[in-house]
Amino acid sequence: MPEEPVLTLVVATVGLLLVAAMAAIGLRRLNLPFTVGLVVIGMALGCLTGRVEALEPLGGITLSPELILFVFLPTLIFESAYNLDGRLLAKNMTPVLVLAVPGLLITTAIVGVLTFFLTPLSWGPALLFGALIAATDPVAVVALFKEVGAPKRLAILVEGESLLNDATAIVVFRILMGVVVAGTFGVATIGSGIADFVIVFAGGILVGGTIGYLMVASLRLADNDPLVEVTLSTVVAYAAFLLADHYLHVSGVMATLGAGLVISTYGSTRFTEETKSYLHRFWEYAAFVANSLIFLLVGMSVSLDLISRYLVPIGSIILVVLFARAVTVYGTAPAIARIPGSEPISWEYRTVLFWGGLKGAVGLALAMSLPAGFPGRDLIVTLTLGVVLFTLVAGGLSTGPLIRALGLARPSLVARVARAQAWLAAKTQALDRLENLASAGHYSAHILNQLRTEYDNQIDEARGELTHLHRECEASPNVMLHVLWAEALTVERSTYRDLFDRGVISEPVLRELELSVDLQRDNLERGNLPASIPSVPPIEVRIESTIVGMVGWLAPRSRFVERNRRRALAAKYEHQAAILAASERVVTQLEQLAGLSGADPAVEAQCRSAFEERTSTTMGRLDTIAEHFPEYVQAVQTQTVRRIVLDAEADAIESLAAVGGIPGAVAEAARSGVELAQRELARQPLSALESSPEELLRRVPMFQELGEADLRKVAAQLVPRTALAGESVIRQGERGTSLFLIARGVVAVLICRNGEPPVRVASLHAGEFFGEMALLTDEPRSATVTAATDCRLFELSKRDVEALCHSSTGVTEALERAATARAAPADMA
Ligand code: CMP
């Protein structure tokens, strides 16, 4: 028998892991939910521990609140957040929040009141019990729903609720605890409770989101080393939880959730495929271990003696908890349906939400964290254990069958068609490969023939199923359209990924485009055709452009603003170029897609014309950009072509090296040469390739008489400015401090008279200038000048203009002539 505590711990942990591994094998064969099996095995172990000597070390680990909260919970929450579909959660946020906040309060109140009447507990402890038992447990729920294969939206509702209501429960629990200990309760308690809740909830997300973002931002330092990145993700999961919960006293669950969501969102583009797969496997394993231990330990902490002694109160409390859950779920659902923008919850979903809201280790941790002398502590712990045990075993065993019985596990017709197509494509490809082998000559004809017949049969079967499904589709023609469009959207999405991988588009642009495909998909699911591309920039882009807008308003000439405007211009071009590439690819592949999905010609034509229209509008937009920014577009194209050629070089080196065509050292040298060229290309700023201000000045009529030296002097004084379409460069009535030259683009001059809406009085083009009148007359700006297209401007300060006028009468005359001519129509009006 090991004496050392560390040794005991190691022996016990290894023993439990062995049990978990065996249980996983056994339970899979018996087709039983893993969690339920573990709890039952844990109970058995718990009974045997005192009696069998070999099991004694197991007594060394007991389920303590710290163990649950600080060891297991961060892993489990992070894993589920990392794999959570953030967009789906955001889409279903209203029902999730309603269930997690007011829903939890309703359950707490019902359970609390009934517990007060049914048990010896007094008001405070009864309500406290209500709070800790009201929260559905993320650990239990997530584990179960993953196994059952529930529809995505249902899973996100249950998962989202269980993750968020935990924070609510913990806050309510703390408030009630304060009330019980202090023995007073009043309006002030409620007020400070609400404030507390908001701080704990939002504070947690903020802490976690920030830590997650810091990790993502510091990734560059890790040099794509997956081991370092996995380690950092572990640090983030725990640091977020500890910092939030232990030091800042905000919700640790929300913090880890926030960190996980941030990392999975940015990770999709910033992690390499290798890192993504490491992260996925690591966290899957970590969650397996944490889940196994937690449920075994929950089982082991059940004292059958106690439970049998309190069988009646436990039974009645289980009924109370079920009743409260039913009231909450069925009661809030109609209210949720009435909130604008939230999708109603069907009665089948409600039923699963009601029955599948398992209670688990978090409630238990809260119960056990009550101080020893707390009134009714033992009863609360026993009741909690009873309820947890019941929901885990009864709920765990029956939720899967319930989902199937309600017909929720059956994939939709669209999904079934897609699956049958994938099946057929896989079989056909396998058969092709078989024919290749046959032509290679040295395989036994007998074996090949046998396999050929097998595959022929399977292909016939798949075709038969597809025909059958197509017949079913004919009854609902929308399905056909849906299938074809969904495939077109898949092609569109994969084109964007390709472009990003090749460095043609940047990360924010990729994110925006992917989001637009997802929105089109949502539209499709609702039966609308996604004819136009919704443009909704992702949240970080929106935040950034708001900040740039604000800074731009305060300090229009700052370098920060200028850099961002240029970036926005580049993004616009990339965006349109990517849409063009994707639409063109869809159009070329459409015939093949239609053949595969069995879409009829009318459906194909409808889809084709939508994508062709998209192609031509996008081309028009690109032409406009090219017209106004020829050098820029040329530079972008040169860079893209260079990049593609370098990629081809790199591929050639890799394939030669792979077949041993060149010696390792030579391949290494060639590889680093190409990599260097790629890095240099990526570093080259596009602006360096634009036309110089001198070139522009030569094209401006009023500067034509200036000598080379003067021209160079003026050019040195010009400050480049980018104005995006719609942005105001000058506002009527402002004080004038500079003159603007238009290098690229078109601006509109708008005048507002006597409070009437502004009237467009002129359009000015490349080579023209504006802003001279206020400088010459010292009066306020006579008009508002707005960029009609994206513009490249050069700004010259008042002082420099004056110096210039001093040295060149030609410039003075040109400015005065323009000012007089422009003022004339305004005076006549
Ligand atoms: P300023 O008054 O400094 O600021 C607004 C500018 O708009 C003005 O200088 C001119 O450069 C320009 N502007 C005003 N009225 C007209 C007009 N009718 N046609 C062309 N440009 C104009």
pLDDT in tens, 757-784: 888 888 888 778 899 999 988 999 999 9
**Quick one: average pLDDT of 541-545?**
75
The 10 Å Cβ neighbour count of residue 155 is: 23
Ligand 1 atom at minimum distance from 769 CA: 11
The 10 Å Cβ neighbour count of residue 337 is: 13
Comparison of pLDDT for 531 and 804, the residue scoring more: 804
Sheet holding 738-744: strands in order across?
719-723, 791-797, 738-744, 769-770
CA distance 286 to 282: 6
Report the candidate in 479, 324, 365, 364 with the shortest Cα–Cα distance to residue 411. 479
> Is the pLDDT at 1 greater than 60, yes or no?
no
What distance separates the 2 farthest-apart alpha carbons in the chain?
108
Q: For ligand 1, is residue 782 a contact (CB within 6 Å)?
A: yes
pLDDT of 532: 62
Are 140 and 396 contacting, i.e. CB atoms less than 8 angstroms apart?
yes
pLDDT of 829: 40
Q: For ligand 1, is residue 774 a contact (CB within 6 Å)?
A: yes
State how beta strands 728-730 and 784-787 pair.
Answer: antiparallel
- pTM here is 0.71
CA 607 to the chain's CA centroid? 28
Ligand 1 atom at minimum distance from 783 CA: 5
Q: Kindly report the protein residue whose alpha carbon is nearest to atom 21 of ligand 1.
A: 822
- Max mean pLDDT range (420-434, 469-483, 543-557): 420-434
Q: For ligand 1, is residue 762 a contact (CB within 6 Å)?
A: yes
Report the candidate in 313, 314, 406, 420 with the shortest Cα–Cα distance to residue 355. 406
Beta bridge partner(s), residue 760: 750
Q: For ligand 1, is residue 350 a contact (CB within 6 Å)?
A: no
The 10 Å Cβ neighbour count of residue 719 is: 16
Query: 688 pLDDT band (50/70/90 cuts)?
Result: very low
CA 119 to the chain's CA centroid? 46
CA distance 496 to 574: 11
Q: For ligand 1, is residue 747 a contact (CB within 6 Å)?
A: no
Report the candidate in 359, 362, 387 with the shortest Cα–Cα distance to residue 144. 359
The CA 771 to ligand 1 mean position distance, Å, reads 6
CA distance 38 to 27: 9
State how beta strands 738-744 and 791-797 pair.
Answer: antiparallel
The per-residue b/e assignment along 363-381, b for 16 or more CB within 10 angstroms, e otherwise, is bbbbbbbbeeebebeebbb
3 state DSSP class of 743: strand
Substitution candidate for ligand 1 out of 750, 820, 822 with most atoms within 8 A of CB: 822
Nearby residues of 449 by Cβ (< 8 Å), 6 or more positions away: none
The 10 Å Cβ neighbour count of residue 560 is: 12
Nearby residues of 217 by Cβ (< 8 Å), 6 or more positions away: none
Q: What is the DSSP string of 565-598?
A: HHHHHHHHHHHHHHHHHHHHHHHHHHHHHHHHHT
Report the candidate in 251, 220, 257, 222 with the shortest Cα–Cα distance to residue 236. 257
Q: For ligand 1, is residue 819 a contact (CB within 6 Å)?
A: no
pLDDT in tens, 571-602: 888 888 899 999 999 999 988 888 776 677 88
> Is the pLDDT at 466 greater than 90, yes or no?
no
Query: 109 pLDDT band (50/70/90 cuts)?
Result: very high
Report the candidate in 66, 81, 207, 205 with the shortest Cα–Cα distance to residue 139. 81
Q: For ligand 1, is residue 518 a contact (CB within 6 Å)?
A: no
Beta bridge partner(s), residue 770: 740
> Structure tokens of 546?
């708001």
Ligand 1 atom at minimum distance from 781 CA: 2
Substitution candidate for ligand 1 out of 729, 730, 776 with most atoms within 8 A of CB: 730
Are 492 and 610 contacting, i.e. CB atoms less than 8 angstroms apart?
no
Q: For ligand 1, is residue 787 a contact (CB within 6 Å)?
A: no
Q: For ligand 1, is residue 730 a contact (CB within 6 Å)?
A: yes
pLDDT in tens, 616-664: 888 888 888 777 777 777 777 777 788 778 888 888 888 888 887 778 7
Q: Kindly report the protein residue whose alpha carbon is nearest to atom 15 of ligand 1.
A: 822
Substitution candidate for ligand 1 out of 770, 779, 793 with most atoms within 8 A of CB: 770
CA 6 to the chain's CA centroid? 41
Q: For ligand 1, is residue 780 a contact (CB within 6 Å)?
A: no
The CA 720 to ligand 1 mean position distance, Å, reads 20
Are 125 and 180 contacting, i.e. CB atoms less than 8 angstroms apart?
yes
Q: For ligand 1, is residue 783 a contact (CB within 6 Å)?
A: yes
Sheet holding 759-764: strands in order across?
728-730, 784-787, 747-751, 759-764
E strand or H helix that includes residue 796: strand 791-797
Ligand 1 atom at minimum distance from 779 CA: 2
The CA 759 to ligand 1 mean position distance, Å, reads 13
Q: For ligand 1, is residue 772 a contact (CB within 6 Å)?
A: yes
CA atoms within 13 A on the CB side of 401: 8
> Structure tokens of 92?
């279903």
Substitution candidate for ligand 1 out of 785, 793, 795 with most atoms within 8 A of CB: 785
Beta bridge partner(s), residue 684: none
Substitution candidate for ligand 1 out of 782, 817, 828 with most atoms within 8 A of CB: 782
The CA 822 to ligand 1 mean position distance, Å, reads 6
Report the candidate in 788, 751, 754, 798 with the shortest Cα–Cα distance to residue 768. 788
CA atoms within 13 A on the CB side of 287: 23
The CA 806 to ligand 1 mean position distance, Å, reads 22
The CA 344 to ligand 1 mean position distance, Å, reads 55
**Quick one: average pLDDT of 356-379?**
85
The CA 796 to ligand 1 mean position distance, Å, reads 16
Q: Kindly report the protein residue whose alpha carbon is nearest to atom 22 of ligand 1.
A: 822
Handedness of CA 736, 739, 744, 747 (dihedral sign): positive
Q: For ligand 1, is residue 781 a contact (CB within 6 Å)?
A: yes
> Is the pLDDT at 314 greater than 90, yes or no?
yes
CA distance 259 to 212: 4
Q: For ligand 1, is residue 773 a contact (CB within 6 Å)?
A: yes
CA distance 13 to 11: 6
Nearby residues of 456 by Cβ (< 8 Å), 6 or more positions away: 431
The CA 828 to ligand 1 mean position distance, Å, reads 15
Report the candidate in 92, 87, 204 with the shortest Cα–Cα distance to residue 158. 92
pLDDT in tens, 398-422: 888 888 888 877 777 777 777 887 8
The CA 523 to ligand 1 mean position distance, Å, reads 46
CA distance 537 to 798: 38
CB neighbour class for 737 (10 Å; exposed up to 12, middle 13-18, buried from 19): middle
Handedness of CA 504, 505, 507, 512 (dihedral sign): negative
**Quick one: average pLDDT of 544-564?**
78
Q: For ligand 1, is residue 785 a contact (CB within 6 Å)?
A: yes
Q: For ligand 1, is residue 481 a contact (CB within 6 Å)?
A: no
**% pLDDT > 90, the chain:** 23
